[in-house]
Amino acid sequence: MVKEGNPFYFYTSSNLVELTGERADTLEELLTILKQCSGSAIFYHVFQSFRDRHFAIEKYHSDFAQWISTSLDDEVLAEKLGALDVRDFISIRDMRESMIQVIEHHLQEHPACKERTGKTPFFLSQSISVAMPTQYAVRNLEGFCQVMERVGVFSIHYHLVEARLRLGIHTNDFSYWFRTSLNREGLAKKIEEIDIYLHPLEEIRKLILRKVQEEIRT
């Protein structure tokens, strides 16, 4: 029996990226940038960078950790930043504060790192995200699967990754709809448990489809 609920409307997003003119050559300069930069800059270098690398996964999900690893050769600090699970954060402010704390604590333990110059500068960018409706709307799991097979990866990123910051809660648009409209609590939790930074977006699409198809068969 096909269970229907309120429709789920698929959206996608477009991002305008701009260079801020700010750069960091040392860890101390990066720390200063982190304290002063806009929230859209944090969003770009942590969340959107993952979206734009949707066919491959870098060692670290954020540009900050990646630069610290490859340019400063500070693998210890890069791993500390990389250990921050973005799924734990529902606001850019909280993420910024956690990154600052990690770097400041590292500098206290290793003061020599403060003036180490990177092989290449870190250039700060920021983005403006604009949400746009797609042509797709579904009312049940069967329709959801059909759309998930063809919708663009930017739409998947919008509903799965950007949703946490937009909703301000520890979930995503898909799970929220499964839970509140279709009363599929188990499926909602399974989607929430997907490690969004362990897999590229195309692989995440397959994982979501597999879990929803399993739910349909039960």
pLDDT score for 27: 96
Question: Which of 127, 160, 180 finishes a domain?
Answer: 127
pLDDT score for 204: 92
Contact 128, 113 (CB under 8 A): no
Q: Which residues contact 105 (CB under 8 A, 6 or more apart)?
A: none
Q: Which H or E run includes 45?
A: none
**Residue 4: inside a domain:** no
Q: In this structure, what token pair is assigned to residue 186?
A: 């188990």
Count CA atoms within 13 Å of residue 186 on its CB side.
6
Q: Please give the model's pTM, rounded to 2 decimal places.
A: 0.77
pLDDT score for 137: 97
pLDDT digits (tens, 9 = 90+) for 143-165: 999 999 999 999 998 998 887 77
* CA atoms of 7 and 165, how far apart (whole Å): 22
Same domain, 154 and 211: yes
Mean pLDDT computed over every residue of the chain: 89
Please state the domain count of the chain.
2
pLDDT digits (tens, 9 = 90+) for 80-129: 998 887 777 878 899 899 999 999 999 999 998 888 899 999 999 998 87
Phi, then psi, of 129 in degrees rounded to 5: -100, 130
* CA atoms of 197 and 48, how far apart (whole Å): 12
By residue range, what is the domain housing residue 59? Answer: 14-127
Same domain, 48 and 122: yes
Question: Which of 78, 94, 127 finishes a domain?
Answer: 127
Same domain, 39 and 82: yes
